[in-house]
Amino acid sequence: MPQLLVRTERFPIAGRFTIARGSKTEAAVVVAEIRDGAHVGRGECVPYPRYGESVAATVATLEALADEIAAGLDRHALQRRLPPGAARNALDCALWDLEAKRSGRRVFELAGLPAPQRVVTAYTISLDTPEAMAEAARAAARPLLKLKLGAPGDAERLAAIRAAAPASELIVDANEGWRAEELALHFDACVRAGVTLIEQPLPAGADAALADLPRPVPVCADESAHGRDSLAGLVGRYDAVNVKLDKTGGLTEALALAREARAAGLDIMVGCMVATSLAMAPALLLAGLARIVDLDGPLLLARDREPALRYEGSLVFPPAPELWG
């Protein structure tokens, strides 16, 4: 009889992670573990206050499903049982992992996907002064940098970072921090800095303005995109969608969203919260569908879990089955 175990784990961040909405110094993750005799499936999520989630509520939601898991609740029933979000993500990924362990096959095989390959991930530079962000970009020396913006002085930040990292590809994440009346100026600063993608410039719910404005740099939906039911509101406003398992509620919906978004003409970015390798491993299966991979969560931590994903600079390698899948 499958047994569900739920626990909270905390991992210190290397320094401070700052976006337009605030800062944090640790990653609080919730792990769902399903034990079935000799087999164990695991999944990790990050409850996100922006979406009304908390660690305590996520743990309570998962623990309330223990009897249903024991009775055989599967991934397909789970999609109807829980809404998209962190709790469903942890459980969905644990069920994928358990299915792989039981069958002796990898999750990518079960999902009908090609074997994942090593990919280049973006590396995030936290919101700070222009000088501090430029120095962080220079020190990182990464091929793909993701810049957290969304505060007064963003044009100066962009100019300083581009001067400090002339060879890096730059993507920008405003985290809903810009306003429609300022957008033309922000777009101009991004063009001058050679930015290749802008994430969520306007608040979700206020992004209709994107349909009426020229977009000289492609714009990617993040906070405006969750599951497939959000797709209709993205077409015509966005050029890409950031698929995150904590938003979609797991790998099952993430795969469906990525495929339908591509069919609708949207590029795919696969992203993450600040979390450990256990949260990144399922998301790596989406990398083959993505134009941009942003799975640097473990690189921002002071320590990762063991076993961990293998990172070499900005290259991230597929997970070993001991970690997940």
What residues are labeled active site?
A: 148, 244
* 156 within 8 A of 149, measured Cβ to Cβ: no
The secondary element (H helix, E strand) that includes residue 77 is helix 75-81
Cα separation, 276 vs 305, in Å, equals: 6
Cα separation, 239 vs 267, in Å, equals: 6
The secondary element (H helix, E strand) that includes residue 60 is helix 55-63
Closest Cα to residue 304, out of 281, 284, 270? 281
Closest Cα to residue 93, out of 32, 171, 175, 25? 32
Cα separation, 278 vs 286, in Å, equals: 15
User: Which sign, positive or negative, has the C-alpha torsion 67, 70, 71, 76?
Assistant: positive
Cα separation, 111 vs 133, in Å, equals: 40
Q: Where are the beta strands (DSSP E) in 93-224?
A: 119-120, 123-125, 144-148, 169-173, 195-199, 219-221
- DSSP annotation of 290 reads -
Torsional class of 62: left (φ above 0), alpha (ψ -120 to 50), beta (otherwise) = alpha
User: Which sign, positive or negative, has the C-alpha torsion 227, 275, 146, 255?
Assistant: negative
Token couple for 16 = 């401070």
Closest Cα to residue 222, out of 194, 205, 200? 200
End-to-end CA distance of the chain: 21
